A and B are shown apart, each in its own frame.
Chain A
Amino acid sequence: MDILNIRNVVKSYESKVAVDDVSLNIPQGIIFGMLGPNGAGKTSLIRIITTITRPDSGKILFDNDPLIEKHTEQMGYMPEERGLYKKMKVGEQLLYLARLKGLSKQEAESTIAHWFDKFDIKDWYNKKVMDLSKGMQQKVQFIATVMHRPKLIILDEPFSGLDPINAKLIENEIIRMRDEGTSIIFSTHRMEQVEEICDKIVLINQGKNVLEGDVNEIKNTYKENLYNIRYEGNINVHFEQFGEITHKNDNSITIKCDSSQKANDLLKWMIQNGALINSFKEILPTINDIFIRKVEGNI
Chain B
Amino acid sequence: MDKLWLIIQREFLTRVKSKSFLLSTFLTPLAFLVFFVIAGFIMSYKEGEDKKVVVSDPANLLDKVIKDESNIYYTFSDESIDNLKKQVEQGNYSGILEIPKPDSAAIRQLKVYYYSENQLGLDDQAALENQLEDRIGEYKLKAQGLDKSILENLKTNISIDPEPINASQKNESSSAAAIGAALGTIMGIIMYMSVFIYGSMVMRSVMEEKMSRIVEVMISTVKPFQLMMGKIIGVGAVGLTQFILWMILIPLISMFVTMVFGFDPQQMQSQAMTGAQSVDPDDLQMMVSKIFIEVNNMNWWLIIPSFIFYFLCGYILYSSLFAAVGSAVGDDLGESQSLTLPITIPVLLAFYIMFAAVRAPQSSMAVFGSIFPLFSPIVMPSRIVFDVPAWEIAVSMLLLLVTTIFMVWLAGRIYRVGILMYGKKASFKELRKWMFYKD
Contact = CB atoms under 8 A, between A and B. Distances in A.
Tell me, yes or no, whether A binds B: yes
A99 interface: yes
Interface in B381-410: none
A81 B18 contact: no
A44 B314 CA distance: 37
The SS class assigned to the A binding surface is loop
A210 interface: no
A69 B6 contact: no
B213 A52 contact: no
Given A100-B6, A101-B221, A52 B216 contact: yes
A85 B212 CA distance: 7
B223 A69 contact: yes
Contacts of A75: 220
A259 interface: no
Nearest to A148: B221
Nearest to A154: B220
B304 interface: no
A54 B439 contact: yes
Interface string A246-266: 000000000000000000000
B211 to A, nearest CB: 8
A99 B217 contact: no
A84 B220 contact: no
A99 B6 contact: yes
B420 to A, nearest CB: 7
Contact of B221 (A53, A85, A100): A100
A53 to B, nearest CB: 6
A52 B18 contact: no
A87 B211 CA distance: 13
B170 interface: no
A87 B21 CA distance: 14
B212 A77 contact: no
A72 interface: yes
A97 B222 CA distance: 10
Interface in A39-54: 47, 50-54
Contact of B214 (A47, A73, A77, A83): A83
**Of B3, B217, B222, B433, most A-chain CB atoms within 10 Å:** B217
The bracket for how many chain A residues form the interface is: 20 to 34
Contacts of B219: 52
Contact of B213 (A69, A82, A144): A82
Contact of B420 (A52, A85, A96): A52
Nearest to B439: A54
A87 B213 contact: no
Nearest to B18: A87
B267 interface: no
A86 interface: yes
A25 B7 CA distance: 34
B438 interface: yes
B216 A81 contact: yes
Contact of B14 (A54, A72, A81, A87): A87
B216 A83 contact: yes
Interface in B408-439: 420, 433, 438-439
Interface string A66-100: 00010011010111011111111000000011011
Contacts of A51: 220
A83 B220 CA distance: 13
Contact of A79 (B18, B213, B438): B213
Interface of A: 14, 47, 50-54, 56, 69, 72-73, 75, 77-79, 81-88, 96-97, 99-101, 144
5 contacts: A52-B219, A52-B220, A96-B10, A100-B7, A101-B221
Given A14-B433, A83-B215, 7 more contacts: A52-B219, A54-B438, A77-B217, A81-B213, A85-B209, A96-B10, A99-B6
Give me the 7 closest cross-chain CB pairs, A-B, nearest first.
A83-B213, A83-B214, A50-B220, A81-B213, A54-B439, A79-B216, A77-B220
